[in-house]
Structure 1
Amino acid sequence: MSDAIRLDHVGVAVRSIAAARGFYELMGFEVGAAEEIAHEAVRVAMVPMDGSRVELIEATAEDSVIGRFVARRGEGVHHLAVRVDGVDAEFERLRAAGVRMASENVKVGAGGHRYFFVHPESTGGVLMEVVGE
Structure 2
Amino acid sequence: MKLDHIGIAVRSIEAASRLYGGYLRLAAAEREELPGERVRVAFFDAGGARIELLEPIGGDGPLARFLAARGEGMHHVAFGVTDIGAALKEAVAFGYRPVDPQPRKGSGGRLIAFLSPKETLGVLIELIQSERDREASDRDPKSG
Fold shared by both chains (TM-score > 0.5):
yes
1:89 maps to what in 2?
86
Structure 2: which amino acid aligns with 1:44? Answer: V
Distance in 2 between residues matched to 1:25 and 1:90, nearest whole Å: 33
Within the candidate set 100, 103, 110, 1:103 is matched to 100
Kindly provide the CA deviation profile for residues 61-102 of structure 1, in whole angstroms up to 9, marking residues without a partner as x.
Answer: 211111011111110000111111111211233235442111
Asked if 1 retains the 8 angstrom alpha-carbon contact of 2:27 and 2:46, the reply is no
**Which of 99, 111, 114 is the matching residue for 1:114?**
111
For residue 118 of structure 2, give the secondary structure of its aligned residue in structure 1.
helix
Length-normalised TM-score, structure 1: 0.90
Equivalent position amino acid for 1:70 in 2: L
Matched residue SS, 1:95: helix
Counting matched residue pairs gives 129
> Pick from 4, 10, 14: which aligns with 1:8?
4
CA shift for structure 1 position 130: 0.5
**1:123 is matched with which residue?**
120
2:16 aligns with one of 17, 20, 23: 20
Query: Any gaps of 5 or more consecutive residues in structure 2?
Result: 131-144
Alignment pair present for 1:60 and 2:50: no
2:127 partner SS: strand
- Secondary structure (helix, strand or coil) at the match of 2:85 reads helix
Aligned residue number for residue 44 of structure 1: 41
Unaligned runs of 5+ in 1: none
CA RMSD across the alignment = 1.3
